[in-house]
């Protein structure tokens, strides 16, 4: 019973703390000002609760409702219902802060609301000044995303309504421009939605109804939109998904990216590169290895433009690993080593040493510089189980390549114990790694002269499905066959 009461009074998993944990240091300070400003928060005791929570940042791990209650209401007995209401009030203020912050960062929407107000109040001079300011701002920020033409449509709509309101019969009612922006907004969003649907449909074998798709494609075949690169891009993506063998669309969308990067927001660019990379991956998986080079070139373009870094300026260790994999497979070893060295610093601190060592070891292995690998990997600690498995696998293969069979025998025992301990976490991967260990033991035995067993072992390895690094095993078998 005591533990149940304790759980009801702890706050760590509450919606309030889960949300507050997502805020950056800057946002927590800004929220502090927000909560303490009567214009935004008129509810009593909410600032007191936030002050106590704020003092526990950034971990918020020592918060218990009863303890906070005593500090806010020292003369009153603990009331869980009232405490929950107070937490709900603070949660509501946090949500209002999120909406306010988003609006504060969205200058386009702010400008439009101001313009709308001036038009409604018939403040023509204010309206015209605001309109000029918007046009000047747009010249300074020539960016496009899926909302760009929506904002342009809203701007033209306000201008059109202002003209109608002033009853200027000789003024151009800007109906064509209004219609063009509305069409562009619809086409961008429709094309993008169709791209996502077709991609998902292929992966999950789900059928979707796509009304108007044929009509839109027919329209785009008749009328070009080269003057709106984002429409042209998603049209090419869509056609590359529909006409899978026609590679010209990929080259076109790649050129659009290269030539128009400055036009797109970072969020939009990330989505565009994801579509382009997915196409390359599909082609490479179908056996067209030329697209590995294309994929690497896309990554290089992203690196050059700082597009792979997250909001904190850090590179994902998985992206780091993927790029190294491409560099190795493309045999661009010098470039790959430079990438590994230059980008170590932009990995999150907790991944720097392990990701750097693991990926550099992979490069050394490909270059047959096996002696350099063991010192890199032997004492390394990993935060991600599958990276740790890959590192152990690489170390295992290195011992084999160096013919350090006594050390390898001992290592395989410890590797096997590690996998069995992690059985629940690894799931079906457990069998694949245990089969790899078993196969490596057999390879060692074949090395000691049992040549008659090479052919049956090869047949078994060829047919087995659940095994990691099957290609490496078969390569080692092929070498043993030559000796035999």
Give every residue of the chain whose pLDDT is below 50, as ranges.
Answer: 1-8
Give the integer Cα–Cα distance in Å for 453 and 444.
Answer: 12
> Are residues 78 and 23 located together in one domain of the fold?
yes
Q: Which of 130, 164, 184 is the last residue of a domain?
A: 184
Residue 315 belongs to a domain: no
**Token duo for residue 85:** 């209401």
> Are residues 123 and 180 located together in one domain of the fold?
yes
Rg over alpha carbons for the chain, rounded to the nearest Å, is 30
Per-residue model confidence (pLDDT) at position 9 = 55
**Token duo for residue 163:** 């003209």
Q: Which of 105, 129, 148 is the last residue of a domain?
A: 105
Residue 454 belongs to a domain: yes
Residue 357 belongs to a domain: no
Q: How far is CA 254 from CA 183, 325, 357, in A?
A: 24, 22, 33
> Are residues 146 and 100 located together in one domain of the fold?
no
Give the integer Cα–Cα distance in Å for 161 and 127.
Answer: 12
Residue 252 belongs to a domain: no
Residue 437 belongs to a domain: yes
Burial 299-334, CB ≥16 within 10 A → b, else e: bebbbeeeebbeeeebbbbebbbbbbebbbbbeeee
The dihedral region occupied by 174, where left means phi > 0, alpha psi between -120 and 50, and beta the remainder, is: left
> Are residues 414 and 430 located together in one domain of the fold?
yes
> Are residues 33 and 98 located together in one domain of the fold?
yes
Per-residue model confidence (pLDDT) at position 203 = 77
Per-residue model confidence (pLDDT) at position 2 = 34
> Are residues 99 and 130 located together in one domain of the fold?
no
Q: Which residue range is the domain that position 38 belongs to?
A: 2-105
Residue 431 belongs to a domain: yes
Preceding omega of 58 cis (within 30 degrees of 0): yes
Distant-in-sequence, close-in-space partners of 377: CB < 8 Å, separation ≥ 6: 357, 358, 361, 391, 394, 395, 398
Domain count, the chain: 3
> Are residues 388 and 483 located together in one domain of the fold?
yes
Per-residue model confidence (pLDDT) at position 204 = 76
User: Tokens 């990995």 identify what position?
Assistant: 347
Burial of 186: CB neighbours in 10 Å, binned 0-12, 13-18, 19+: middle
Q: What percent of the chain lies above the pLDDT cut of 70?
A: 97
Residue 38 belongs to a domain: yes
> Are residues 22 and 75 located together in one domain of the fold?
yes
Residue 273 belongs to a domain: no
Per-residue model confidence (pLDDT) at position 4 = 34
> Are residues 95 and 41 located together in one domain of the fold?
yes
Per-residue model confidence (pLDDT) at position 484 = 59
Is residue 268 a contact partner of residue 145, using CB atoms and an 8 Å limit? yes
> Are residues 85 and 121 located together in one domain of the fold?
no
Q: Which of 51, 74, 105 is the last residue of a domain?
A: 105
> Are residues 114 and 145 located together in one domain of the fold?
yes
> Are residues 419 and 478 located together in one domain of the fold?
yes
pLDDT one-digit tens code per residue, 351-404 = 999 999 999 999 999 999 999 999 999 878 888 898 999 999 999 999 999 999
Per-residue model confidence (pLDDT) at position 450 = 67
């Amino acid at each position: 019973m005591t533990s149940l009461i304790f759980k009801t009074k702890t706050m760590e998993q509450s919606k309030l703390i889960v949300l507050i944990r997502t805020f950056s240091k800057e946002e927590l300070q800004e929220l502090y000002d927000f909560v303490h400003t009567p214009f935004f928060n008129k509810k009593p005791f909410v600032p007191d609760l936030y002050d106590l929570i704020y003092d526990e940042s950034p971990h918020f791990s020592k918060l218990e409702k009863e303890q906070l209650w005593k500090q806010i209401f020292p003369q009153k007995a603990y009331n869980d219902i009232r405490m929950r209401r107070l937490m709900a009030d603070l949660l509501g203020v946090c949500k209002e802060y999120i909406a306010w912050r988003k609006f504060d960062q969205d200058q386009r929407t702010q400008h439009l609301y101001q313009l709308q107000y001036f038009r409604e109040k018939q403040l023509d001079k204010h309206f015209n000044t605001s309109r000029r300011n918007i046009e000047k701002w747009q010249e300074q920020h020539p960016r496009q995303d899926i909302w760009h033409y929506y904002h342009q449509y809203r701007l033209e709509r306000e201008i059109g309504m202002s003209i109608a309101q002033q009853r200027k019969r000789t003024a151009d009612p800007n109906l064509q421009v209004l219609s063009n922006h509305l069409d562009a907004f619809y086409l961008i969003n429709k094309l993008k939605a169709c791209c996502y649907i077709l991609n998902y449909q292929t992966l999950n074998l789900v059928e979707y109804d796509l009304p108007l798709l044929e009509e839109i494609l027919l329209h785009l075949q008749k009328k070009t939109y080269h003057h709106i690169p984002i429409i042209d891009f998603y049209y090419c993506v869509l056609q590359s998904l529909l006409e899978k063998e026609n590679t010209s669309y990929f080259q076109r969308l790649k050129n659009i990216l290269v030539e128009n990067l400055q036009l797109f927001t970072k969020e939009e660019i990330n989505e565009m590169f994801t579509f382009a990379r997915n196409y390359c991956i599909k082609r490479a998986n179908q056996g067209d290895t030329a697209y590995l080079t294309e994929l690497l070139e896309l990554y290089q373009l992203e690196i050059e433009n700082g597009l792979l870094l997250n909001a904190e300026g850090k590179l994902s260790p998985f992206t780091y690993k993927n790029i190294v994999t491409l560099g190795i497979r493309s045999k661009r070893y010098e470039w790959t080593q430079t990438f590994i060295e230059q980008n170590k610093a932009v990995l999150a601190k907790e991944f720097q040493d392990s990701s750097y060592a693991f990926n550099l070891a992979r490069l050394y292995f490909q270059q047959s510089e096996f002696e350099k690998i063991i010192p890199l990997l032997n004492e390394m600690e990993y935060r991600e189980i599958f990276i740790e498995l890959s590192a152990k696998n690489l170390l295992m293969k290195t011992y084999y390549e160096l013919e350090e069979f006594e050390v390898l025998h001992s290592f395989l025992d410890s590797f096997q114990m590690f996998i069995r301990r992690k059985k629940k976490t690894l799931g079906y991967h457990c069998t694949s790694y245990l089969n790899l260990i078993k196969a490596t033991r057999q390879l060692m035995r074949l090395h000691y002269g049992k040549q008659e067993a090479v052919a049956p072992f090869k047949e078994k390895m060829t047919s087995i499905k659940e095994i990691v690094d099957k290609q490496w095993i078969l390569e080692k078998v092929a070498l043993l066959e030559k000796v035999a």
